[in-house]
Amino acid sequence: MKWVVFFAATVVSLTLSGLTGTGALAQSSGPLRIEITEGVVEPLPFAVPDFIPNGSAAGEYSRNLSRVIAADLSGTGLFREVPASAHISKVTDFNAPIKFADWKAINTQALITGSVSVSGGNATVQFRVWDVFSGQELGNGLQFAGPVEGWRRMAHKVADEVYSRITGESPYFDSRVVFVSESGPKNDRRKRLAIMDYDGANLQYLTDSAAIVLAPRFSPTGDRVLYTSYESGFPRIYVLDIGKVTRRVLESTDGIMSFAPRFSPDGKTVVFSLSQGGNTDLYSMNVNSGSKKRLTQTPSIETAPSYSPDGRQIVFESDRSGTQQLYIMPSSGGEARRISFGEGRYGTPVWSPRGDLIAFTKQAGGRFHIGVMKTDGSEERLLTASFLDESPTWSPNGRVIMFSRETQGAQGRSSLYSVDITGRNLRPVRTPDGGSDPSWSPLQR
């Protein structure tokens, strides 16, 4: 009986509340909440009209600046330029309001406007970045000034700023790459050190091709380069001052081969391999005093060392387990921990500037791969596959990897490629000749 009464009371209550419009179902308690877990991965459309020239002297840089900026952004694979032929409105005044509707109509999501003025051999570049759909400026307007012959660097810096403001990544366009320039057939290949902007521009040779050179490595400040040369008949490590193009031997012991050098993050120490009596071990050397310290002491081959960004650990390759694998040990030496356990052979590990990943070369199934893994060896991902991919190097922001790829056959050519750590956007790096062993500089100051 009680249940019958309760049911009747509930029915009456619901009926009355429904009539008065105050039912529980009709009440909106707070905002509507939804969760978006799936999105799209596609390049962000942007537009960069020619920069407005202030004066006739700036005319020739107006278009050049915008073209370099557009190439930088498009080259990341994260952006897609809306061509000028599709632009509806023209930007004729740097300080004029933006007609956002015109840019929305062509689905431009980011707009870069700028101006350039030249006076007395110096150029001044101003720019702004706009979020078209929100009608707001991303950050504040910025201005760069410098010698007019450095206009490419200024363009790279503008692109860096735009890239960082939109993606949140740290920049990398204003950087350089040192590599081994290769020419001639495989059986008579001439090698010399070369340096260029990250995009292949402003190439300069640092050595001649009289002796074989290998594995150049930038210093943390980008002003020096370590490399290995067979100039004396034995492989020896040299350090080269880029600004002065002067060099000195870092390690010279007769009858001992030294190679695979790399600077520590503070630039005070160099870790390298030293082969003596058929055994190869890792050593570290103080750059100023020249004092050496042996880090490994095993009958196996230990080589290709690379410091962690904090300088506390070293990742290297070793065949102590019977096959070539990757190991991590303290930078002062000590017990090493194996981190690679996949099939095949692992080599040339390089620690990411962010510290979270290690890039490596993997040989498995008759093919070479460039891959990345976490520092504990987990989450291994292979980014490339070809006849021969090797020598990975990280961009300053740890987002892109450059490496060398060699094609098959006697006329095979070695050239440089870059790939995003997502595995997307694999693209060749423009060099006049072939290239191998790239090393990416830190961001220029």
- Contact residues toward other proteins (CB under 8 A) are 2, 5-6, 8-10, 12-13, 19, 21, 25-28, 30-44, 78-79, 85-86, 88-89, 96-102, 104-106, 109, 131, 133-136, 138, 166-169, 379, 381, 399, 421-422
C-beta closer to other proteins: residue 99 or 186: 99
The three-class DSSP label of residue 434 is: strand
Task: Identify which of residues 102 and 231 has a Cβ nearer to other proteins in the complex.
Answer: 102
CB atoms within 10 A of CB 188: 7
Our CB check for other proteins shows the closer of 38 and 188 to be 38
Contact between 215 and 437 under an 8 Å Cβ cutoff? The reply is yes
Min dist CB 104 to other proteins, Å, is 8
* Closer of 109 and 284 to other proteins (Cβ): 109
CB of 9 to other proteins, least distance (A): 4
In the bound state with other proteins, the residue whose beta carbon lies nearer, of 88 and 210, is 88
Report the first-to-last Cα separation within the chain, whole angstroms: 87
Residues 6+ apart with CB under 8 A from 344: 362, 363, 364, 365
Query: In the complex with other proteins, which residue's Cβ is closer, 15 or 221?
Result: 15
How far is it, in rounded angstroms, from Cα 155 to Cα 65?
Answer: 5
Q: Report the C-alpha gap between 70 and 87 in whole angstroms.
A: 15
- Looking at 334-418, list the stretches that DSSP marks H as alpha helix, in order from N- to C-terminal side: none
Rounded distance, CA 416 to CA 194, Å?
13
Q: How far is the CB of 370 from other proteins (least distance, A)?
A: 15
Residue placing its CB nearer to other proteins in the complex, 209 or 425? 425
Least distance from other proteins to the Cβ atom of residue 162, Å:
11
Give all strands of the β-sheet with 213-218 in edge-to-edge order.
213-218, 224-229, 236-241, 246-251
Partners of 436 in the beta sheet?
A: 180
Name the residue nearer to other proteins (CB basis): 136 or 286.
136
Q: Could you tell me the smallest distance in angstroms from the CB atom of residue 43 to other proteins?
A: 6
Report d(CA 390, CA 402) in Å as an integer: 9
Q: Which is nearer to other proteins, 42 or 335 (CB)?
A: 42
Name the minimum Å distance from CB 309 to other proteins.
Answer: 16
Closest distance of CB 313 from other proteins, Å: 21
CA distances from 147 to 65, 120, 160, 197, 402 (A): 14, 9, 19, 17, 29
Smallest gap from Cβ 217 to other proteins, in A, equals: 25
Phi, psi of 365 (to 5 degrees): 60, 30
Rounded distance between C-alpha atoms, residue 221 and residue 288, angstroms: 16
Sort strands 44-47 and 110-119 into parallel, antiparallel or unpaired: parallel
Token readout for 146 is 């410098």
**Smaller CB distance to other proteins: residue 168 or 233?**
168
**How far apart are CB 83 and other proteins at their closest, in Å?**
10
Rounded Cα distance, 381 and 320, in Å: 24
User: 44 to each of 28, 76, 85, 108, 160, how far by Cα in Å?
Assistant: 37, 11, 18, 8, 16
Closest CA to 84 of 96, 253, 69, 75: 69
**Residues 62/103, Cβ–Cβ less than 8 Å:** no
As measured in angstroms, the least distance from the Cβ of 216 to other proteins is: 28
